[in-house]
């Protein structure tokens, strides 16, 4: 049984390799679904662009985290000097309060950006990747389908003795099996691409609105709008002083 499995795998690999080489050197015909392949290429290009956005958003998170940490340390330094410098107590005091407020707003903004990063990461590395895994299965099935189609066509043009007829029947059966598999996966890919596009629009509509509102409120110094943005998207920040490290510390 194991020998038969290995033999079958070897024959399949040989046929597919032969088909692949004939396609690359322009000698063999290839089944092409132009509409589907255009959509697949568009998905791959979209994934590359979203990966770039994800990389930049993570870099922004790291920079903002460093800024918040610096503001926190600077606020502590100002507060300490306010107590030890009577002649500049007021000046150091309101600078300490300013840095404290900026630090709080920065942490709120980080909560929004981290939520944005998490959502884009899920979209790119789970949702899109899942669809591309099905695409890979489809592309393999397409190659197998063409390999067995070519094999059937070659046998059909040969002599029709008793042995040839038997081989032709076997080739016809194998071809039909691979054709069914190819058509099923082609339909699966078309459905997944459709649902992925709908999901992408839904997710990005929400995330881009969140990102815009949070960034605009932060740089406008609108603390109330910034906090309202997090409430709007049901984003909860870690409670300060919790035993577990905050998500800021886990980045």
Q: Is 24 part of any domain?
A: no
Domain count, the chain: 1
User: What angle separates helix 89-122 from helix 223-232, to the nearest 10 degrees?
Assistant: 30
In the prediction, which pLDDT does 67 show? 94
Q: Spell out the residues 6+ positions from residue 179 whose beta carbon is closer than 8 angstroms to its own.
A: 145, 149
Classify 99 as helix, strand or coil: helix
The CB density around residue 188, as the number of other CB atoms within 10 Å, is 16
Q: Which of 135, 128, 133, 105 is nearest to 54 (CA)?
A: 128
Q: Is 82 part of any domain?
A: yes
Please report, for residues 47, 139, 141, 146, 160, the alpha-carbon distance to residue 135 in angstroms, rounded to integers and kept in the order given: 14, 6, 10, 16, 38
Helical spans, DSSP H, in the chain: 2-24, 34-84, 89-122, 129-156, 162-219, 223-232, 247-250
Q: Is 87 part of any domain?
A: yes
pLDDT, tens digit, 9 for 90 and up, residues 195-204: 999 999 999 9
In the prediction, which pLDDT does 5 show? 62
Question: H or E stretch including 221?
Answer: none
pLDDT above 50 (res 251): no
Share of the chain above pLDDT 90, in %: 61
Q: Is 14 part of any domain?
A: no
pLDDT above 70 (res 49): yes
Residue 94 — pLDDT band, cuts 50, 70, 90? very high
* Structural domain for 69, as ranges: 53-139+187-234
Whether the CB-CB separation of 150 and 87 falls below 8 Å is answered with: no
In the prediction, which pLDDT does 238 show? 64
The Cα 89–Cα 105 span in angstroms is 24
Q: Is 226 part of any domain?
A: yes
Share of the chain above pLDDT 70, in %: 88
List of long-range contacts for 196-201, beta carbons under 8 Å, 24+ apart: 196/43, 196/127, 196/128, 196/131, 199/123, 199/127, 200/46, 200/123, 200/127, 200/128
Residue 162 — pLDDT band, cuts 50, 70, 90? low
Average pLDDT over residues 75-99: 93
Q: Is 159 part of any domain?
A: no
pLDDT above 90 (res 221): no
Q: Which two tokens stand for residue 9?
A: 């795998």
Q: Which two tokens stand for residue 113?
A: 């950006």
Q: Is 248 part of any domain?
A: no
The Cα 82–Cα 96 span in angstroms is 8
Residue 244 — pLDDT band, cuts 50, 70, 90? very low
Q: Is 165 part of any domain?
A: no
pLDDT above 50 (res 246): no
In the prediction, which pLDDT does 70 show? 94
CATH of the domain at 76: 1.20.1270.60
pLDDT, tens digit, 9 for 90 and up, residues 168-193: 888 889 889 999 999 999 999 999 99
């Amino acid at each position: 049984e194991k020998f038969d499995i290995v033999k079958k795998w070897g024959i399949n690999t040989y046929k597919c390799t032969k088909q692949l080489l004939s396609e690359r050197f322009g000698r063999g015909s290839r089944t092409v679904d132009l509409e589907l392949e255009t959509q697949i290429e568009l998905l791959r290009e979209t994934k590359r662009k979203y990966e770039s956005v994800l990389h930049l958003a993570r870099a922004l998170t790291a920079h903002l985290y460093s800024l918040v940490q610096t503001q926190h340390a600077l606020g502590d330094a100002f507060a300490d000097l306010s107590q030890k410098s009577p002649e500049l107590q007021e000046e150091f005091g309101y600078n300490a309060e300013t840095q404290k407020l900026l630090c709080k707003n920065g942490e709120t903004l980080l909560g929004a950006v981290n939520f944005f990063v998490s959502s884009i990461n899920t979209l790119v590395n789970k949702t899109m990747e899942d669809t591309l895994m099905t695409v890979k299965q489809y592309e393999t099935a397409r190659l197998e389908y063409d390999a067995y189609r070519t094999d059937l066509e070659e046998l059909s043009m040969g002599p029709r003795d008793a042995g040839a007829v038997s081989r032709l029947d076997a080739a016809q059966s194998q071809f039909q099996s691979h054709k069914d598999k190819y058509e099923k996966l082609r339909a699966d890919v078309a459905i997944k691409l459709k649902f992925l596009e709908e999901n992408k629009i839904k997710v990005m509509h929400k995330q881009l609105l969140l990102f815009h509102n949070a960034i605009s409120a932060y740089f406008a110094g609108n603390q109330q709008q910034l906090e309202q943005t997090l409430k709007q998207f049901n984003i909860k920040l870690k409670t300060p002083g919790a035993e577990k490290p905050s998500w800021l510390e886990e980045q």
